[in-house]
Chain A
Amino acid sequence: MYSFTRRRLIVVLLLTSVLLLTLDGSNSGLIGGVKDAFGVVFRPVERFANVVSRPLSNVWRGVLDYSDMRKENLALKDLLVKQEGAAIAATASVREAQELLALNGLPTLAGIDSVTAQVVGQSPSNFTQTFELNRGKSSGIRVGMTVTNGAGLVGKITGVTLERSVVMLATDPEYAMSVKVGACTRPNTTTTAVPQTTTTVVADGSSTSDTMAPGDGSTAPFTTVAATTTTSTTSTTSTTTTVLQRATTTTIKGFTPFATTLPPVPGGGGATQITVPESGVLLARETGAMEGQGIDRLPVIRFIQTSSRLGELCEGVPVVTAGGSQSLAPADLVVGTVSRVVTRTGTSGPLLEVELAANLQSLNFVRVLLYQPATEIPQ
């Protein structure tokens, strides 16, 4: 049997909760102010607790994570060796892409300032996926800014105080972002054998010429190499020099951005083959919405419509941010790769699972792009 006092207590607590939830939902500054004030008082106590409990945390980590850490360390060393060469090539490609974008007057990430911050805390909840950074308003960080690390997109800033900010990870169920995804590049490559001309100049004045037809190179590799040969005759000794005039300029149908010119390779031999992706693959990209699915689940992309223009969707295709005036992040920021394509019937279109490029389990230093989306700027 409930007494009146007990009922009243329950009602008061319920109403207070509803009031707090309403205040929070209306985005009034009151809740933020109260949280900031609490943070100022709580931070020193938390720091003290951190110092006190660190030995215990270290013991826990040492006991449970040591073998995993060793394995991971070896794997990372191996990966690092493989990545070093690729990183140099990628840097060159990125620079070239930025130059091209700049030439066309398009925005690039290079023009956006950023702040490096360290992850100093993690959400103690089992439901929200947030991290706390050691930089805040004083470093220019504002709500809505995009957070990345060396690998790709990490999340966005959802809360900021003077010296701290909170990052919502891209895997959080409340996170959504417009992204671009391309089709498979596998079947759409063109291999062209370039015609090659060989001119042989003989010292006695005569000359011979030989031209290889397209396609010859692919079936029978061209094996003549630049060389100096000595021909003996009955009367004189002459020197024959074979000069290779490599194919000069090729214009491939569907590949219009620029022509491909192969420079002569001294002493080089073999069939000259150029593999160039067709223009359709370079251009066809579909925009969809990537949404987080919670802890231990990969984000998914919805609203992708399959079309003949887009072609076939497959795993391993890179996913980048779409950009645009309403987007939460600048364009062409690496998000990850498609790890699974779920075909759905009807008009709902396929569902793509995304393997994020950034490892969200071991974040330490991150980069906050000082780019506040138009939708996040307070009116």
Chain B
Amino acid sequence: MKRFFAIIESPLTRAFLVGFIVLSFQTTLFNTLRPFSVVMQVMLLCSAASGVAAGSESGAIAGFMFGFMYDMVLTSPFGLSALVFGFAGYMAGGVNTFAYSPRWWFKMLSIGISSAAAVLIYPAASLVVGVDGLLQARVLGVALTVGLFNAALALPAVFVMRWALVKSKKQMLWAE
């Protein structure tokens, strides 16, 4: 029983459940809300927030998992979003470590920058795997919009991802 609860309480399970719920809103609500005709990328937001909340490594793993889940509902090459979102999580964690004690605005900046970078990398990575035509000037506008939106929602996303990925001392004791 303890083992079962340990699995349920594990960061990976929590992150998966968060990702599952966020994905359902990504394909419904955020698919409808398209400011400037740009789809908001909340899965990418969660990936970047994972990096800020739990560090580069955890961010990379969580981002990879979120990207993998996102690939399940896309028709783009399978594994591409996993790669790019993993990078976003890793980068957000990396940027966040530049500050000794990052303030709230620096977390927003980290998430905004890494999200925009991921949006720019995605068409370039697709070009590598043989999907051309995505690398257009429009990508710059998309990257800017997604970056700003993700920066705006960064703090609640970091809060949720911290809950999912970082175990409190109380939880650790209970799991033991």
Contacts and interface: CB of A to CB of B under 8 A. Distances in A.
Interface residues of B, number: 53
Nearest to A173: B133
Q: Is the interface of B mostly helix, strand, loop or mixed?
A: helix
B38 to A, nearest CB: 6
Contact of A20 (B24, B61, B78, B130): B78
A56 B70 CA distance: 23
B77 interface: yes
Interface in B119-150: 119, 122-123, 126, 129-134, 136, 138, 142, 146
Nearest to A17: B83
B131 A174 contact: yes
B30 interface: yes
Nearest to A35: B72
Interface string A19-58: 1110111000001001100110010011011100100110
Contacts of B32: 53, 57, 60-61
Given A6-B57, A42-B24, A128 B75 contact: yes
A11 B3 CA distance: 30
A146 interface: no
Nearest to B63: A13
B119 A123 contact: no
Contacts of B29: 49, 53, 56-57
B165 interface: no
Contacts of A34: 72
A313 to B, nearest CB: 24
Given A6-B56, A174-B133, A294-B133, A46 B78 contact: no
A122 B26 CA distance: 11
A214 to B, nearest CB: 56
A25 B129 contact: yes
B79 A60 contact: no
A21 B138 contact: no
Q: Residue among A5, A46, A60, A296 with the most chain B CB within 10 A?
A: A46
Given A60-B33, A125-B39, A292-B133, A20 B82 contact: yes
Contact of A126 (B28, B41, B78): B41
Chain A interface size band reads 35 or more
B171 interface: no
B73 interface: yes
A57 B131 CA distance: 32
Contacts of A10: 60, 90
B66 interface: no
A130 interface: yes
Interface in A275-304: 292-297
A269 interface: no
Interface in B43-96: 56-57, 60-61, 64, 68-80, 82-83, 86, 90
A297 B135 CA distance: 13
A123 B38 contact: no
Contacts of B97: none
A31 B77 CA distance: 10
A38 B61 CA distance: 20
Given A10-B90, A49-B28, A174-B131, A123 B64 contact: no
Contact of B31 (A9, A25, A121, A295): A121
A48 B20 CA distance: 12
B174 interface: no
Contacts of A122: 31
A34 B72 CA distance: 8
B25 interface: yes
A334 interface: no
Contacts of A17: 64, 79-80, 82-83, 86
Given A16-B64, A60-B32, A61-B32, 4 more contacts: A53-B25, A57-B32, A126-B41, A295-B37
11 contacts: A13-B64, A13-B86, A20-B78, A24-B79, A25-B77, A39-B72, A49-B29, A57-B33, A125-B39, A125-B76, A294-B138
Interface of B: 20-21, 23-33, 37-39, 41, 56-57, 60-61, 64, 68-80, 82-83, 86, 90, 119, 122-123, 126, 129-134, 136, 138, 142, 146
